[in-house]
Every structure is written in C-alpha cells, then in structure tokens.
Structure 1
Amino acid sequence: MEIDLALAPAARMTLNQLRLKGQRSIHFAKESDSRRMNILKSLLTIPSITTCYVVKGLNRGSEGAARQLCVMATVSELSPSEQYKVIFDLDENFLAADRLTLGRQLRSRQNKTQVIFHHLEPYQEQLLALPDAFAWAFARGGRWRLALRSLDLRIKHLP
C-alpha cells in the first residue's frame, strides 16, 4: 500500500479517531462486521494506491515463502530514481528472512540507499491498519471485496 508522505499525518489522525477507547491499534480481524464496514468506509477516504499480491499453489504452512515472494515483488516495483520509506508489519517469525530478502533485492537493484525499511507493530504505526483492512476484505470476498471498488487497487498474481 502506498500513501503520499504529505497525507500520512491526516491519515493517522483518521485512524486514531477510529480506535475504540483503550484500543492501541485497529486489527480488522478482531472487529465486528458492522464496525468493520464503518472502518472500511472511513479508510477508503484516505487517498492511497494498494497492490494486492495473490499467491496460490503453495502448501499449507508456506506463509513464509508467500511473504518472501510478496517482499521481492514489492521491492521490484520500487523506482530506482525515487526515495521510499517502507514499513512492514512486524512478525518476529519472518523478521530475519525479510531483512535478508530486502537486502539481497536492494543490492541487486543498486538502490539500497534510496529505500529505508522498518518492521513495526501496528500500534507503532497506525497506517498498518490500511493494508490489514484491505487485505482482509479482499481475501474475505463477497460484499467485502465489493466495498473496495472505490479503492485504487492493483491485483498481481505471483507464481
């Protein structure tokens, strides 16, 4: 998911307003259906470009392999002439593999210095709620995927 850095503060404010009292972050899978739809409607007002990578054909338990394919695809789409700040949802199970893949991909593209990446918890970066919600709705299908129709959504199938 890509958002203009100039729009990030306003987007964070929107997300903070959506959090319930005592809630450190929004985790879409843990919300009720009615709250999910309200959150989704609010999130769709935030200008963003979202790429949904679809990985099929891997065995159960291959989440790590699927994640690495998505990390590689993300880096491959970065323009060498631009600067990026990339933030991944922190999952300690994949942190070492992510760093290895990111380093290898960036070195091969000759643009390592133009990309800064971080792994953060959702409460540390509220914007992580956007891809969480969009991915959940896309994967759920039906009315949830239909709700994404106003989103600038690009679907890419990975081998």
Structure 2
Amino acid sequence: MHAFVDESFEGDYVVAVVTAADGHVTAHRAAMRRLFRRGQSRIHFKKENDARRGQILAGIAALDLTVRVYVTDNGRTARRACLERMVPDLAELGVTRLVLERDDAVVEADRRMLFELTGKQSADLEYRHLRASEDPLLCVADAVAWCYAKGGRWRQLISVFTTVIRV
C-alpha cells in the first residue's frame, strides 16, 4: 500500500490521506494525469473553477482509493497530533510507502517525527517529501483537503468516499 498526504490549515488543521494498493498506483497516476489540462504539471484544486472541480472529483471517485481526513484544531501541535494518529493507522493498513507533499518549512521536523513514530510502531514505512508536480496522486490529497476545509457542498461531495477522524 502507498499513502499520499496533503494538508490544509484554513480554519481547522486538516490532513488528507489517500491510500492505494501497490498494484493500482500506476493506473491511478495515469487516470489523474488524464485529468490534467494541456500544459498542467499538477492540479491545484483551489485554482480550479467549480465546474472543473466537479469533473476532478468525479474522476477521483471512480478510482479504487481509500481516503481519510484527520482533523484537529489549528495550532502549533496540530501537525504532530495528526501524524501521531495517522502513522499507526497506516501501519495497520499495511502502508509501506508514504508520500507527503513537500513544504520546505516542515521537512526536517517531519523526518524527525516520522522516524520516531515509525519506530514506535515498528512500521516498515518509507517516507518521502515530493512536490505535487512529482506525483499526480498528491493532487487527490490536495483536492480532498481543500474540499473538507471549504465545507458545505464540497465537503458533502467527498463524504461518499472519505472517512473523517477527529484528532
């Protein structure tokens, strides 16, 4: 299993985690690339118009993915709280590769924290920080995090394929 993570901190702190079976990752990446517009290296959900967002969500819903959203109050320890809850869940799911969208401000802290958390779980979990343009499945996590944070109809649209975990 592979996991792809992005966050939003508009209001609550939201971490979206998308998991896919190893044998399906290549096909899911190809499906997401087909949703890119000509010249796009990634989909950044907040920059899309509503019609396009609907099209992208329909494409995501058609994929065989497991999607979880970890939510907590926004604050200094929010990221740690979400990761502390997420890592054991990923270990239980059998995730062996974790890809987090790269935010240069948190990479070193994440590495230290993930080293500590995976050791506590005895998890065989490889983790990497990549730019959204480097893996199209990070676009799924971006879309889900945006929809949850936005609320209203956007949160309702993802509710059919998303489990929410309050941290």
Larger Rg over CA atoms: 1
1:80 and 1:109 in contact (8 A); partners too: no
Residue among 110, 126, 129 paired with 1:119: 129
Which string of whole-angstrom CA distances, capped at 9 and with x for unpartnered residues, describes residues 88-142 of structure 1? 000000101100100111122223xx11111000111110011111111111111
Task: Map residues 7-156 of structure 1 onto 2, 5 A cutoff.
Answer: 7-56=24-73, 58-59=74-75, 62=76, 65-79=77-91, 82=94, 84-111=96-123, 114-151=124-161, 153-156=162-165
Distance 1:14 1:124 in 2: 15
2:98 and 2:127 in contact (8 A); partners too: yes
Distance 2:38 2:50 in 1: 18
SS of 1:117's partner is strand
Distance 1:81 1:29 in 2: 30
SS of 1:130's partner is helix
2:91 and 2:121 in contact (8 A); partners too: no
SS of 2:81's partner is helix
2:28 and 2:137 in contact (8 A); partners too: yes
Q: Percent identity among equivalent residues?
A: 27
Q: Paired residue for 1:6?
A: 23
2:44 and 2:142 in contact (8 A); partners too: yes
Runs of 4+ aligned residues of structure 1 deviating over 6 Å after TM superposition are none
CA RMSD of aligned residues (A): 1.6
Question: How many residues are paired up?
Answer: 150
Which string of whole-angstrom CA distances, capped at 9 and with x for unpartnered residues, describes residues 19-68 of structure 1? 11111101101111111111111111111111111111x44xx4xx3222
User: Which is worse superposed, 83-92 or 102-111?
Assistant: 102-111
Q: Paired residue for 1:157?
A: 166
1:68 and 1:97 in contact (8 A); partners too: no
Distance 2:80 2:95 in 1: 22
Unpaired runs of at least 5, structure 1: none
Taking structure 2 as the reference length, what is the TM-score of the superposition? 0.83
Unpaired runs of at least 5, structure 2: 1-17
Taking structure 1 as the reference length, what is the TM-score of the superposition? 0.87
